[in-house]
Structure 1
Amino acid sequence: MSAGRVDDYGYLADGRTGALVSRDGSVDWWCPARFDAPSVFARLLGDDGGHWWIRPAGEFQVERSYLDDTLVLRTVFRTEQGSVAVTDALALDPEARGHDIGRNPPGLLLRLVEGLSGHVPMLMSYAPRFEYGRVRAYLQPHGETSISRATGSTLGMTASVPVRHEGIDASASFTVDPGRREAFSLSHSSTYHQREPMAVDVPAALADTVAGWRSWTAEHSYTGLYPQLVRRSALVLQGLTYQRSGAVVAAATTSLPVRPEGHDNYDYRYVWLRDFSLTLRVLSIAACPKESERLFRWIAEAIGEVGMDPIPIVLGVEGERDLSERELDELTGHVAVGPVLLGNDAWRQRQQDALGQVLDAAWLLRERLEPMPDDIRRLLRSLAEQAAGTWRMPDSGMWELRGEERHYVSSKVGCWMALDRAVRFGRVLADAAELARWAAVRDEIHASVLENGWNPRVGAITGAFGSDRLDASVLVMPLIGFLSAADPRMRATIDRIDRELTTDGLVRRWPDDSAGFVICSFWLVGCLALAGERDRATALFERLTERSNDLGLFAEQIDPDTGDQLGNLPQAFSHIGLISAAWRLTAAATGRPTPVTAVI
């Protein structure tokens, strides 16, 4: 069997990496050491990538859900013989912040099969493939554990049922009756720091993991509209967090295509400053404020003080800078659409809007940064100085287009935001003369954008100076306070984007984009809410949230014709958009004051 549609996958997380489980019970993606480490299961990207499935032997129907307030997945298979449930989880990393999960080792995948009714024949197929399928290691029985070692890693699969070893793979056949439970676990460790294979109490480890997730969600403080949707998206963002550093990756996967012909496949298992700063803001709305404070410190440590050279707009989860991109020939790609890429050459780009994103996040968190530490003050000052000194330069823009740099409106607006927030900090960051200089440059940027971004022939603000192409990135302008949604130029732009880039509520980034970009669609919700069209914004929001998969997960894009999720999953940007839009609708419905800070 081949990998299913992107919509078919559920997501598991443990505080350092994630796994994807298909509707038919197959773990098709897991990079156990950390998000961007080599995989041991990668059938998601090709049949030879490795898998571990457990499912009924005959035909079945599926219902699945997460256990409340967790990323623990429960899949119920219904067959002619009866029904059975499979509960899947990654045991929370024992170093995950704030949780006492001492009995579970790191790198532990848990699977519990429970008979619900009848007598259901089950099958298991275990086929690990190290290094994205490039390395195959023979299985060696070790008591009840099947051991594989390769490339410095050790996998130990334990099952409560008899297992057949078949060269490099293993399989099992068993039957479950009502009340009967069969337990499976898979541990990962470094071969050179070898643990003895240990017996895992799977039900107890699952209970620990559930308790760990719920102890985190108990700290949520969101009281606005759509609380369950916001809670789920906040959990997804938490599940994309590398807890040891506090970094939040853009997505848990690489190379899931956004178009049938491929080409735009990218590795998103890294930390973009833009996405990360937006995550800080929405977590301050949806969850415990302590999380956003801790995560901001990671930005300061990872970036350090900067000059006029481009800031590192994308980093590894422990602050790595060099993310050089390479193509993996051994895998054909998801549904045979390549290429499969490791690394991301966006690390070489200049993206000016990131300057504003970081300063805006700091402005939102200012009360939790008092008194402001010297390293954060130096960082914010240097970002403001870079915005003032480089805003006239072209860059690659927030969509990271490769090739010739341009004067993107969203990048200029990001520089404006950097200086606007720096000026708002006042004497905390600079003396009166510096503040006056920053304010003057800020106002110069504002005037330049309105003069050069507005295209009278198009009747809208376009994506770049001198361009006639619509670009949904300009929808951020009212959301960050650059231009009122009621301003005639902004209002005309919103209407034009709604009319020409939107299909059934899904907003494409530009006219020739092939699918709706999820966060752009949520930006339109926010713009409509700010323009006073609350009913229309609410209807659009509810239509968008119905487009998630059955577990509430969003990828990067959605095909407006088929409704299929496209791109890497789960996508932080998309879930950020949902939380922000819910907050905007709450503010519009309740009359709560909207803070100056951007929540986009």
Structure 2
Amino acid sequence: MGKAAIADHGLLADGRSAALVDREGSVNWWCPERFDAPSVFCRLLDSDGGHWSIRPSDDRFEVRREYLPDTLVLRTVFSTAHGEVSVTDGLVLEPGSRGHQIARRSPGVLVRVVEGRSGTVPLTLTYRPRFEYGRRTAYLLPRNGTLVATAGPTTLTMTSPVPLTCSGPDASARFAIDAGQRRTFVLAYRPTYHDVPPAGLDARDPLGDTVEGWRSWTGLHDYQGRYPDLVRHNALVLQGLTYQPSGAVIAAATTSLPERIGGDRNYDYRFAWLRDFSMTLRALWVAACPDEATRLFRWVASAVGQVDGQPVPIMFGVEGERDLTERRIETLRGYAGSSPVVVGNEAWRQRQLDVLGEVMDAAWRLRDYLDPLPPEVRDLLSSLADQAATSWREPDAGMWEARDAQRHYLSSKVFCWAALDRAVRFGDRIGDAADLARWAAARDEARETILREGWNADRGAYTGAFGSDKLDASVLIMPIVDFLPATDDRMRATIRRVEEELSDDGLLRRWDTDPAAFTLCSFMLVHCLALAGERDRAAAMFDRIAGTANDLGLFAEQVDPGTGEQLGNFPQAFSHIGLIIAAWELTTTEPAAV
């Protein structure tokens, strides 16, 4: 398998797709058409899955890298015995993209700029396109000074300033860069049967417009709180995981990266979950960038449609597709041999009642930006409240998407309560007097039931499901959604017990059999400790968790507390959302200056 670990990668994004580049200058993942489209590079999941590398020819080199300030344009600097060279990588935004109009129509172009910084550095380029998750080997055809790779519906056009040598389906080059020299490589995607020429770029500064596009977005936001640099960067990552034509936020840029090496809990996260969408809106509200709330809620209303008493769909494709049927890709061996590799996600069939409260809570938080409520959003919120009123007593798959059996998960009940509570607060903006009375009655009954059935006297804590003795980090949402104050005796006992049994120095597992710590849950623990008045300890824990990010500030879904290895799909929106919300809670609970 490829040598690069999950955390070795940096994210490139253009508002429609994402690419991952490792520390040694290899692009190991790219699905150029859109986030969930078939890949052209997937070395991340198999050594022969395709990649494009530009790196020093001598294996002995040191690496430092960073994003250009306030962008997702990545610069990697290689220091060798012969000198120093940098490679600047970026996915090109739509020309002229600025502010919240970034990349609605991405050109599908990956640019790599190689610059000599000192000495003369020999470099090696290796280009191995493998289309449709490694299933199809491309034909390479030199044409008009370019190298065209075509397989079925996909065509890549490489423009190279150095001669490329073709060997079957692969190409390579050896060249040297002197101090002050620059070489620009451009790889453009297009559908084979669409006669669309590659986008034109400024030869002198091919990434300049893209850099300005990213910076124009970050320049619109003025977060006033603790950890401003971290919050700004994490909000930028969430923007990078947003499919701009619709506003859908994907859970992660990858599929099938394992929760445990050698395990089979490998899922496709390149889709939009209502849960992630709602938490993303909350995070962007914290980061002072809620301007697109109406557009995003309209997307949700359009995607959900008329539910007619049926369970609310919990996830969609980036343009609102509902059928996300899962299938295995047998040609790929999986990251570090962890199979299966899957495309699609069977969770789309599940009932997950927590999404009702997730969406309603996000709407309530952003209510000032949804005034007046668009009719389709008003109808959506009213239908969510109706669903919560009739469904809160039912079992479901829970927010961790259990595939074995439905249960009466406490977190699902609490979020149903939250949906009803926010609906009552919205008042006549979404319902008439009879609706409000019905929602209020269901809210009160749900609360009484949760307090009675959710508490386990033997464990001295609220447990993950009614009648269960198993602790579950999801119960930490109780104070976060204002169901109970963190200072309540039972809630304080629950936080303490969860920390004692599921935490390793602040890195929190979802349950006791979880193979690694779940980064979102870890930040939820910070949030709860801050709400409980333990601000100093919460801040120290925040620093510990934030420190598990890679050198570019990116998180996967999970982290091994023993080794620090990042696991699961990458980068994971949930993890970045958790940091932003926890940072804000540490800001709002900070004592006022005297």
Q: Which category describes the TM-score, using the shorter chain as reference length? A: over 0.9
> 1:21 maps to what in 2?
21
Native 8 Å contact 1:221 1:287 kept in 2: yes
Native 8 Å contact 1:280 1:296 kept in 2: no
Alignment CA distance shift 1:64-1:141 (3 Å): same
- Residue 79 (structure 1) shift: 0.5
Which consecutive unaligned segments of at least 5 residues does structure 2 have? none
> 2:155 maps to what in 1?
154
> 2:534 maps to what in 1?
533
Structural RMSD (CA): 1.6
1:46-71 deviation line (CA, Å, top 9, x unaligned): 01210000000002110000000000
1:391-417 deviation line (CA, Å, top 9, x unaligned): 111000000000210000000011000
1:295-314 deviation line (CA, Å, top 9, x unaligned): 22211111123232111101
> 2:65 maps to what in 1?
64
1:9-59 deviation line (CA, Å, top 9, x unaligned): 000000001000000000000000000000000000001210000000002
Corresponding residue SS for 1:499? helix
Which deviates further from its counterpart, 491-500 or 363-372? 363-372
1:278-310 deviation line (CA, Å, top 9, x unaligned): 101111121422133322221111112323211
Alignment CA distance shift 1:202-1:457 (3 Å): farther
Provide the C-alpha distance between the structure 2 equivalents of 1:196 and 1:319, rounded to a whole number of angstroms: 29
Alignment CA distance shift 1:477-1:80 (3 Å): same
> 2:36 maps to what in 1?
36
Alignment CA distance shift 1:203-1:131 (3 Å): farther
1:499-538 to structure 2, matched below 5 A, reads: 499-538=500-539
Alignment CA distance shift 1:197-1:300 (3 Å): closer
Native 8 Å contact 2:262 2:338 kept in 1: yes
1:467 matched to 2:468:
yes
Provide the C-alpha distance between the structure 2 equivalents of 1:200 and 1:174, rounded to a whole number of angstroms: 23
> 1:596 maps to what in 2?
none
> 1:212 maps to what in 2?
213
Provide the C-alpha distance between the structure 2 equivalents of 1:530 and 1:550, rounded to a whole number of angstroms: 30
Alignment CA distance shift 1:250-1:83 (3 Å): same
Corresponding residue SS for 1:403? coil
1:265-280 to structure 2, matched below 5 A, reads: 265-280=266-281
> 1:109 maps to what in 2?
110
Corresponding residue SS for 2:387? helix
> 1:598 maps to what in 2?
none
Provide the C-alpha distance between the structure 2 equivalents of 1:589 and 1:441, rounded to a whole number of angstroms: 36
Provide the C-alpha distance between the structure 1 equivalents of 2:148 and 2:116, rounded to a whole number of angstroms: 28
Aligned AA for 1:377?
Answer: R
Provide the C-alpha distance between the structure 1 equivalents of 2:145 and 2:88, rounded to a whole number of angstroms: 21
Provide the C-alpha distance between the structure 2 equivalents of 1:195 and 1:513, rounded to a whole number of angstroms: 48
Aligned AA for 1:344?
Answer: N
Provide the C-alpha distance between the structure 1 equivalents of 2:284 and 2:365, rounded to a whole number of angstroms: 11
> 2:81 maps to what in 1?
80
1:442 matched to 2:443:
yes
Provide the C-alpha distance between the structure 1 equivalents of 2:230 and 2:159, rounded to a whole number of angstroms: 36
Corresponding residue SS for 1:223? coil
- Residue 192 (structure 1) shift: 1.4
Corresponding residue SS for 2:33? coil
- Residue 429 (structure 1) shift: 1.3
Native 8 Å contact 1:248 1:276 kept in 2: yes
Provide the C-alpha distance between the structure 1 equivalents of 2:274 and 2:480, rounded to a whole number of angstroms: 18
Alignment CA distance shift 1:385-1:155 (3 Å): same
> 1:50 maps to what in 2?
50
Provide the C-alpha distance between the structure 2 equivalents of 1:358 and 1:95, rounded to a whole number of angstroms: 33
Provide the C-alpha distance between the structure 1 equivalents of 2:164 and 2:86, rounded to a whole number of angstroms: 20
Alignment CA distance shift 1:591-1:472 (3 Å): farther
Corresponding residue SS for 1:290? coil
Provide the C-alpha distance between the structure 2 equivalents of 1:112 and 1:95, rounded to a whole number of angstroms: 20
Which deviates further from its counterpart, 431-440 or 188-197? 188-197
Aligned AA for 2:495?
Answer: I
Corresponding residue SS for 1:289? coil
Aligned AA for 2:7?
Answer: D
Native 8 Å contact 2:293 2:370 kept in 1: no
1:247-262 to structure 2, matched below 5 A, reads: 247-262=248-263
> 1:316 maps to what in 2?
317
> 1:595 maps to what in 2?
none
1:107-506 to structure 2, matched below 5 A, reads: 107-196=108-197, 200-201=201-202, 203-506=204-507
Provide the C-alpha distance between the structure 1 equivalents of 2:102 and 2:24, rounded to a whole number of angstroms: 29
- Residue 196 (structure 1) shift: 3.7
Aligned AA for 1:552?
Answer: G
Corresponding residue SS for 1:411? helix
Provide the C-alpha distance between the structure 2 equivalents of 1:367 and 1:559, rounded to a whole number of angstroms: 40
Alignment CA distance shift 1:92-1:199 (3 Å): closer
Aligned AA for 2:563?
Answer: T
1:10 matched to 2:10:
yes
Provide the C-alpha distance between the structure 2 equivalents of 1:243 and 1:358, rounded to a whole number of angstroms: 20
Provide the C-alpha distance between the structure 1 equivalents of 2:461 and 2:498, rounded to a whole number of angstroms: 9
Native 8 Å contact 2:190 2:198 kept in 1: no
Provide the C-alpha distance between the structure 1 equivalents of 2:574 and 2:215, rounded to a whole number of angstroms: 24
Alignment CA distance shift 1:170-1:319 (3 Å): same
1:252-278 deviation line (CA, Å, top 9, x unaligned): 000000112321100000000000011
Corresponding residue SS for 1:211? helix
Corresponding residue SS for 1:119? strand
Provide the C-alpha distance between the structure 2 equivalents of 1:203 and 1:412, rounded to a whole number of angstroms: 58
Alignment CA distance shift 1:202-1:298 (3 Å): farther
Provide the C-alpha distance between the structure 2 equivalents of 1:348 and 1:590, rounded to a whole number of angstroms: 46
- Residue 203 (structure 1) shift: 4.7
Native 8 Å contact 1:2 1:47 kept in 2: yes
Aligned AA for 1:51?
Answer: H
- Residue 198 (structure 1) shift: 6.3
Native 8 Å contact 1:184 1:202 kept in 2: no
1:566-581 to structure 2, matched below 5 A, reads: 566-581=567-582
Corresponding residue SS for 2:225? coil
Native 8 Å contact 1:137 1:150 kept in 2: yes
Corresponding residue SS for 1:482? coil
Provide the C-alpha distance between the structure 1 equivalents of 2:200 and 2:369, rounded to a whole number of angstroms: 44
Provide the C-alpha distance between the structure 2 equivalents of 1:303 and 1:196, rounded to a whole number of angstroms: 36
Provide the C-alpha distance between the structure 1 equivalents of 2:37 and 2:444, rounded to a whole number of angstroms: 45
- Residue 94 (structure 1) shift: 4.7
Provide the C-alpha distance between the structure 1 equivalents of 2:339 and 2:203, rounded to a whole number of angstroms: 37
Native 8 Å contact 2:356 2:388 kept in 1: yes
Provide the C-alpha distance between the structure 2 equivalents of 1:292 and 1:552, rounded to a whole number of angstroms: 26
- Residue 197 (structure 1) shift: 5.2
- Residue 505 (structure 1) shift: 1.4
Provide the C-alpha distance between the structure 1 equivalents of 2:483 and 2:537, rounded to a whole number of angstroms: 23
Native 8 Å contact 2:49 2:134 kept in 1: yes
Native 8 Å contact 1:315 1:347 kept in 2: yes
Determine what percentage of the aligned residue pairs are the same residue.
61
How many residues are aligned here? 591
Aligned AA for 2:472?
Answer: D
Aligned AA for 1:305?
Answer: Q
Which deviates further from its counterpart, 32-41 or 363-372? 363-372
Provide the C-alpha distance between the structure 2 equivalents of 1:93 and 1:322, rounded to a whole number of angstroms: 29
Which consecutive unaligned segments of at least 5 residues does structure 1 have? 593-600
Alignment CA distance shift 1:379-1:355 (3 Å): same
Native 8 Å contact 1:221 1:285 kept in 2: no
Provide the C-alpha distance between the structure 1 equivalents of 2:266 and 2:463, rounded to a whole number of angstroms: 26
Which deviates further from its counterpart, 86-95 or 156-165? 86-95
- Residue 234 (structure 1) shift: 0.2
Corresponding residue SS for 1:113? strand
Provide the C-alpha distance between the structure 2 equivalents of 1:525 and 1:98, rounded to a whole number of angstroms: 32
TM norm structure 2: 0.97
Which deviates further from its counterpart, 123-132 or 365-374? 365-374
Aligned AA for 1:548?
Answer: A
